[in-house]
Amino acid sequence: MQFRILGPPDLFDEERRLRTPLTSPKQNRLLGALLSRPNSLVPREELVRELWAGRAPKQARSALNAHVSGLRKSVATAEGTRGARARLVTGAGGLTLRVSPTDTDGGRFCLAVSRARGRCRTAPEDAYGILREALSLWRGAVLEGVGPHGPLGAVLADRLQDVRRQALELLFDAALSTGRHADVLSELREATVTHPLCERFHDQLMLALCRSGRGGEAIGVYTEARCRLTAAHGHTPLLRARLEQIGAQSPELSAAGARTPVALPPPRAPARRGEARPHRFVVRHIEREDGPAERSALGFLTDLLSGRELHTGGV
């Protein structure tokens, strides 16, 4: 039997594929509070504060006992009376929920992410599969539908959401290492919207776009994210480094496993006599070890966005 909180809380019998929903929002909050400290006694005072947000009824102890009894009945329905007695243990001044990490979807998720992290560099294909399966455990927000979280539920939700963010970073790394850059583009875009201050997601999106032949869009991601991230963090080392790779047409942007290399503007044919010459950007006198250099339009834009001092000219 599994205690599920990555979505609407419930108890799930995996053998019979039966779901036992909890009967009230306060039972959901109670389950979240107990799972925030699994196998540890949670004092009654904290459970009261969790369920009633500091506005406890006069008979708070009796009301809490009623919700504990309701949760115990739900566990008995899913796992039998003996299982309920073993799971929910009343102690001096509090309550303990006895579970192993594999008894909860949150615990399974964290174990899978830890396992995938160890394989990301040596076996990215394996890591990708592990993370895809782990992320499928999420059916919605943590403790979805319980209303405002109490202190314990909020800590639990924040902790699991942070591990989910880490899992997505690892998933995208594994995807980029195995040529799946085009497959995760939409998920990367969603991740940059959900986590607008996560520089790594923007960097991964830039790389995925480059490997999908969309270098110009990658520069657009940089321009949109730069001001916001600089205001929040003071600097954007990942994005600046990625932009420099684009300007230098680094092999990293079309690494082994990428299906298509980064798309750069094709060279223009020389103008014939009597024809108007097309306008192009030329960057002259850039300070480099090998002397002045002439750059393409993309190289010009890269230097401009990087904040380098430029001198433009030429038609």
> In the prediction, which pLDDT does 176 show?
95
- CA angle, residues 39, 118, 243, in degrees to nearest 5: 120
Q: What share of the chain is helix, strand, coil (3-state, %, to 5)?
A: 55, 10, 35
Domain boundaries, the chain: 1-178, 179-262, 282-313
CATH code of 1-178, in short, is 1.10.10.10
pLDDT at position 277: 43
pTM reported for the whole predicted model: 0.79
For the chain, 315 residues long, the average pLDDT of each consecutive 10-residue run is 95 91 91 96 95 84 93 92 90 94 96 96 96 97 88 95 97 95 96 96 95 91 91 90 89 60 41 44 37 44 44 37
Supply the pLDDT for residue 56.
77
Burial of 272: CB neighbours in 10 Å, binned 0-12, 13-18, 19+ = exposed
Strand partners, 13: 18
Distance CA 121, CA 144 (A): 34
Query: What per-residue confidence (pLDDT) applies to 119?
Result: 94
**SS3 assignment, position 103:** helix
pLDDT score of 255: 57
CA proximity to 281, closest of 269, 270, 291, 294: 294
Q: What are phi and psi of 174, to 5 degrees?
A: -65, -40
